[in-house]
Amino acid sequence: MNCKEAHRVLCEAQDSKLSLIRRVTLRWHLSICDRCSRFRRQLEFLRLAARRYRDGGVE
């Protein structure tokens, strides 16, 4: 898995479940790639922020 693929899989993981093989290859890539690890943290942060925003009942 290269970085481009990892990014795509990370984005897919936001709204659908990943197959086992994809989770494993993604985890492996993240363990060797700082850039994608950071990207994942950013996605997590955005997702949490969006949820907080929604739960806060703000338009």
Nearer to Zn ion, 3 or 24 (CB): 3
Show the site string, 15-34: x = touches Zn ion by CB under 5 A, - = not.
Answer: ------------------x-
Q: Is 43 in the site for Zn ion (CB under 5 A)?
A: no
What burial class does residue 13 get, using C-beta atoms within 10 Å of its C-beta: 0-12 exposed, 13-18 middle, 19+ buried? middle
Least separation in angstroms between residue 28's CB and Zn ion is 11
Q: Residue numbers of the site for Zn ion (CB under 5 A)?
A: 3, 6, 33, 36
